Structure 1
Amino acid sequence: MIAKLALVAALGGSAVGAAAVLADDRAPAPVPAVAAASTPAEPTPPPMDARDVRVVTQAPDAKGGAPWAIRRFKSPLKNGTTVECSEVGRLDGERFGWIGASGAFAPTLPGHAGTPMICKNPDQERAVGVSVQRFTTLTQPENGALEPLETVTFGVAAPAITRLVPDDEPPLAPGADGIVLRIVAGDASPGRLLTGVAEYRDGHRVRFNRTGMPRPKGERPVAGTETVAVRAPDPAGGQPWALIATRGDRGGICVTAPGRLVGTRLASVDRRLGIAYPGFEMLQQYCPDTRKPPTRAFPMRLDVLGSSVGGEDPRGRIERRVLDNRTVYWGRVYEDVVSVTIRTPRDVRTLVPSGLAHAIIAVYDGGFPTGKVTATAHMKDGREVTRTLYSE
């Protein structure tokens, strides 16, 4: 899944917060959920030439379902090198396959991208040391939204590694062929990329899955304090939009950029496999900016997000005739603001600030290539302040 995101400051504020509830507009009628089998197919990599195929590891399912397994194979590449790949999947008797959001087992061929997979050659293994990922399997009840089912931690470690110590889950000891595999019922992931330390046999330690993101200046979010600050429906249905709030280490409130919500986490969904990966928005947490907080004179610090990230209900997109892409207005407002009215060439919405950060969010399909978009803050004392918002 390729996501193209453009984040543009509309009113110069860097602090954001919870989202708002529509006060005037009637909420759109819910759209029945679409079973995984009927959703449009997502891009699938070309099949690999799989050789020496074998199942190397099995593990029980956390909910008593079909057992989990790791299937390994080797594949020659056009450049003359050979990679070794590990696929995580489910077993139905002797058959290896996958169970998607529909709950049905489907056998898969090795190297056909029918299950999550990790591939690397021996040189990469020595250089990287460990390749490990975490995802959440999903279920989609009839007439319901996608829900988290189980959390899977899966990876491959070099022979010299004796233990993996994740930052936010118990240590993992590589088994046969360096495989690590853990299945936990429910949404056990804190919604962030799995990071941690790999411990080698000679005693040295190396961090894995480093994000390369600069350390934030000033206040920092405290891990483990994440909550859903607020959510807003998508115009086509499907995954709602949300902001995740986190306590700051100086007593403030930190908030992520807007993202698509699965359960209580922001996530990127692979509908083809029925799994969710942590959303990159968790790496973009905004803590209170003392330089530009909302004030009585400037009561709104709003940003705009232009997004082509998927997650909408495919049936809803057709039935409601909504446009592709999304425009999301979001941000903090001053504590004396009782509501904010956003006027676009398409409609007028009045939002009620919500959450400790006293903030708003509004999600539109498509964009506004013509006309003007404004936001009007309605204060407790009856005063109104209007600002022009960025639009495209």
Structure 2
Amino acid sequence: MNKLLLGIILGLLAGVVAAIAIPRHHDTASANATATPSGRPAAPHDQVVRLGKPETATQGSATLRPVGAATIEATAHDPHGGPDWAVRVYRGERVLTPRMRQQGTDGVIGHLKCAQLGRIHDGRFGWLDARGTFRPTPPQWGTSSVVCSTPNAAAPLIGTLSPITDPDASAARVRSTIVWGMAGPDARTVRIKVSNISATTQRATPHHAFLMALPARFGQHDVHVGVVYNNGHTASGPANTDRITLVARAPDPNGGLPYGLVTAPSIVPGGAARGETCLFGGGVRVVGDRAGAVDYRRDVLSELEVNGGGGCGSDAQALRKMTCLPGIASGTGDTASEGGDTGGTGRVARRTQRSRTTITMRCAPGVDRVTLQTPRDVRTLVLSPTAHAALAVYDGQFTTGGIRWTAHFQDGHTKSGAVPDVGF
């Protein structure tokens, strides 16, 4: 009986301790923050959570040395109420690094005019990443969002990007879409048109810098910039704004953003006919329902950038003869910018091999799925109904053994083939 009474008392004490240890109320900041896979809080609505060290420029064979002051020529409010967006303009000298210069020379090899996109926080120009860290940014190459041209260039400099939530997670979403650039001092008017809804004439500045921050529902393909110059010449952009269509996706073996296979008009000069639909994959990443190149240093998606092979419509005759045309590529790809094998800078590394291998399958109409047999595994891929294509991504490389495929037709029969040995 005494033992039973002691147990009840201890149980009541444990309940009191638990009630004290578990808070009944959370403070506002904790309640509004969401955790990322790395354990760091995400920045709600593009707010500054912390200040980081100033951004340093990456070094190549040449660098940019600013000449004179950098001037803010365009600003725009952020759709989420975060720090204002801004475009600053400055002139600079293209200078060879000391190890690349000839003895007795100053290393100056050109003069440029540049426009740079950033955010304004407490009067400082910089970049805000997806985790809420604001870093002041110098006016140099190799830092966030700089475009440059020769001082007398007749064409405008036009940039587009979409800030995204933490790309170190296995999924991300677009926060907004930004269009920005500089038309030059000889421009008469600059107009930005958005998805046939509205057109806005930008305020004239000394270098006709322009900027617009749009809600996430607008993509980079929805934006068109038109410039009229004093001599009557017109120019527009950005280039390659034909809509990219996501037709297939494959999980990242390292747990990062999915890889994508997209259709887009041909962009290869001298290759397929201009405007012919081609497949691009391998380096394409998927953010929500959009695809493109992801910059893991700035946490942005560039929808208008696609790379990686897959083939164009001119292969129709070969498809009828071969049934399926496989494409295989291997290399480090964008893993270097993502922190190596982790696929991102903030996640715990998985036990995966270095590098990656991408297999693209394009098949003739009538084939609805393909089974791939590799030295690693056997997997069946369902082809997209429009492009008749599928994508598979593996970690590492296949140094031994072959790869075979089996096409499954809708009427039940099959046809098999082998992926050519490309030596890795």
Note if 1:386 corresponds to 2:416.
yes
Q: Which position in structure 2 is the counterpart of 1:241?
A: 259
Match of 1:372 among 383, 395, 402: 402
**Contact 1:164/1:199 (<8 A) preserved:** yes
- Structure 1 residues 319 and 162: alpha-carbon distance in aligned structure 2, compared to 1, 3 A threshold: same
Q: Which position in structure 2 is the counterpart of 1:23?
A: none
SS of aligned partner of 2:407: strand
Match of 2:280 among 257, 272, 276: 257
Q: Which position in structure 1 is the counterpart of 2:299?
A: 274
| Cα offset, 1:48, TM superposition | 3.9
Q: Which position in structure 1 is the counterpart of 2:389?
A: 359
Q: Which position in structure 2 is the counterpart of 1:331?
A: 361
Note if 1:301 corresponds to 2:340.
no
| Cα offset, 1:342, TM superposition | 1.2
Identity %: 26
| Cα offset, 1:181, TM superposition | 0.8
- Structure 1 residues 265 and 108: alpha-carbon distance in aligned structure 2, compared to 1, 3 A threshold: same
**Contact 1:260/1:267 (<8 A) preserved:** yes
Question: Please, which runs of 5 or more residues in structure 1 have no aligned partner?
Answer: 1-30, 212-221
Cα distance per residue 1:186-244 (max 9 Å; x no partner): 1633459x876532123222456667xxxxxxxxxx945x5422211111121211123
1: CA distance, partners of 2:293 / 2:168: 22
Note if 1:71 corresponds to 2:88.
yes
TM-score by length of 2: 0.67
Note if 1:86 corresponds to 2:112.
no
| Cα offset, 1:105, TM superposition | 2.3
Aligned CA RMSD, in angstroms, stands at 4.0
- Structure 1 residues 283 and 293: alpha-carbon distance in aligned structure 2, compared to 1, 3 A threshold: same
| Cα offset, 1:301, TM superposition | 2.5
**Contact 1:239/1:313 (<8 A) preserved:** no
- Structure 1 residues 141 and 262: alpha-carbon distance in aligned structure 2, compared to 1, 3 A threshold: closer
**Contact 2:190/2:201 (<8 A) preserved:** yes
2: CA distance, partners of 1:191 / 1:339: 31
Q: Which position in structure 1 is the counterpart of 2:334?
A: 310
1: CA distance, partners of 2:170 / 2:368: 33
RCO (CA 8 Å, sep 6+): is it higher in 1 or 2? 1
2: CA distance, partners of 1:195 / 1:69: 19
- Structure 1 residues 269 and 243: alpha-carbon distance in aligned structure 2, compared to 1, 3 A threshold: same
Q: Which position in structure 2 is the counterpart of 1:129?
A: 155
**Contact 2:56/2:138 (<8 A) preserved:** no
| Cα offset, 1:134, TM superposition | 1.0
SS of aligned partner of 1:136: strand
**Contact 1:61/1:183 (<8 A) preserved:** yes
TM-score by length of 1: 0.71
Aligned residue pairs: how many? Answer: 340
Q: Which moved more, 1:345-354 or 1:158-167?
A: 158-167
- Structure 1 residues 320 and 332: alpha-carbon distance in aligned structure 2, compared to 1, 3 A threshold: same
Q: Which position in structure 2 is the counterpart of 1:32?
A: 37
2: CA distance, partners of 1:74 / 1:280: 27
Q: Which has the higher helix share?
A: 2
Give the counterpart letter for 2:333 in structure 1. Answer: V
Note if 1:229 corresponds to 2:253.
no
Give the counterpart letter for 1:301 in structure 2. Answer: L
Larger Rg: 2
Aligned positions of 1:113-152 closer than 5 A: 113-120=142-149, 124-140=150-166, 145-152=171-178
1: CA distance, partners of 2:56 / 2:400: 32
Q: Which position in structure 2 is the counterpart of 1:56?
A: 73
